[in-house]
Amino acid sequence: MENLTRQINTILSKELQALIYFLGRCSQRGSYKIYAVGGFVRDLLLGRENNDIDLVVDGSAVDFARSVLEIMPGTLRCYERFGTATLTLPRGTVFDMVTARKEFYAAPGALPTVEQSTLRNDLFRRDFTINTMACALNPLEFGKFYNFFGGLKDLREGIIRVLYKLSFIDDPLRIIRAIRFEQRFGFRIEKESFSLLKKAIENRAWEKISKERLYKEVRLVFREPKPSKVLARFAELNMFKNIFPRLTFSRELKNRLERLEQLLAEILIEKTFTNWSYSVLFLSALFYDLSEHDVRYFCYLMRLKRKERQNLLYVWENLPIVLPQLKNRMTGASNLYFLLEKMPEEGLLLAMVLDPDLLVREGIYYFCKHLLNKKPSITGKDLLKAGLEPGPIYNKILTKLHEAVLEGKISGRREEMEFVNMFLKG
């Protein structure tokens, strides 16, 4: 294979093609050479579009990114010290740019120091051969395919192979990445690479990296098509207990995650749930049976953000109480609303996973589709305008009003006003 222009023109959306050709023309203006590399090229060869595009820039990545922004609107984050820039262009396409470089690892797990160098050198320092292919984007050699390290053959044969012996030691996160790719693509880790990986696990290589970096990588597992398979593989390789101490990857837990994956496949199509995060959802499922002390410990260990921690703990604390009530056929609309009102979407989803009873599912869908946005139009301001003295009575009236609206007893502003007047009279 010599050129990837055909793949670019057939596999990528028109918008992405336009952006790529545009960047190519920008590079020519400034005499830069730019190459798409890594996952973008790998996925292109697999017939998939990847909207996170890694670019190697021969010249300065930071200067090139700035020159693009002179012509096209977007946002830019530069890390001058590392010679890298992240450019986000319209429609959320992200270009991660690095200056063609050689990386010297001062100490295992330390951040790389940077020196100008060539495309080949840059690619040699990467994780697996399947991620070392490149494609030129300059108009003069647009689409030219670079395959220095046998990546194409490995991709065709479904093999994950490191480029050099110390790869997992230089960057222990690659242990997790290797397993993610293995499970995502159904590939196998090549024999020598696999023994290097196992040795790195035995030597607890990841203890050298910060918890932030480790758990940032772990969170990516939850975005995989089948997180349960990746976690099962962690368990098989004796890593699970290091990443999630105090948690056992039981058959039951695996089943739960599989049911969750199945549910996600459904809800991602129908769009009832739009306000949830993969991390909170999967962590809620993983930690559901742990003690409060252990859940809090994980929140700290994984450096969860405040909102994530709050949601996770809310689900953990309240779902065991809410779940049995969801199965009560006598729960009326307003009770159902107040039962689920504060439950994060992750909790609603987990409820359906934990209890396959149809009543649970129906209750949750009824809540989301018919109750969640069913609110009275009258607010506290209207009560104030009507001359009602502010106080605890406001809450009482508005709750009663909300209940009546949820139950379908009244609708429309006029009926709501009548309801308030009746309530005040007696």
Task: List residues near ligand CTP by CB under 6 A.
Answer: 38-39, 52, 54, 126-127, 131, 171, 173-174, 177
CB nearer to ligand CTP: pick between 54 and 190: 54
Q: Are 95 and 38 in contact (CB under 8 A)?
A: no
How many contiguous H segments (helices) and E segments (strands) does the chain have? 22, 11
Rounded to a whole number of angstroms, the minimum distance from the CB of residue 97 to ligand CTP is 11
260, with CB counted inside 10 A (0-12, 13-18, 19+), is: buried
Rounded to a whole number of angstroms, the minimum distance from the CB of residue 14 to ligand CTP is 22
CB nearer to ligand CTP: pick between 54 and 58: 54
CA-to-CA dists, residue 102 to 99, 231, 412, angstroms: 9, 33, 68
CB nearer to ligand CTP: pick between 131 and 311: 131
400, with CB counted inside 10 A (0-12, 13-18, 19+), is: middle
Tokens of 226: 């089948």
Distance CA 245, CA 411 (A): 53
Q: Are 302 and 218 in contact (CB under 8 A)?
A: yes
Rounded to a whole number of angstroms, the minimum distance from the CB of residue 168 to ligand CTP is 10
Output the residue with the shortest Cβ distance to ligand CTP. 39
Rounded to a whole number of angstroms, the minimum distance from the CB of residue 125 to ligand CTP is 7
Tokens of 21: 């050709």
Query: H-type helices in 129-172, by residue range?
Result: 151-157, 167-170
Q: How many other CB atoms are found less than 10 A from the CB of residue 308?
A: 18
CB nearer to ligand CTP: pick between 217 and 308: 217
Rounded to a whole number of angstroms, the minimum distance from the CB of residue 1 to ligand CTP is 18
CB nearer to ligand CTP: pick between 171 and 308: 171
CB nearer to ligand CTP: pick between 54 and 346: 54
Q: Are 91 and 15 in contact (CB under 8 A)?
A: yes
Rounded to a whole number of angstroms, the minimum distance from the CB of residue 318 to ligand CTP is 34
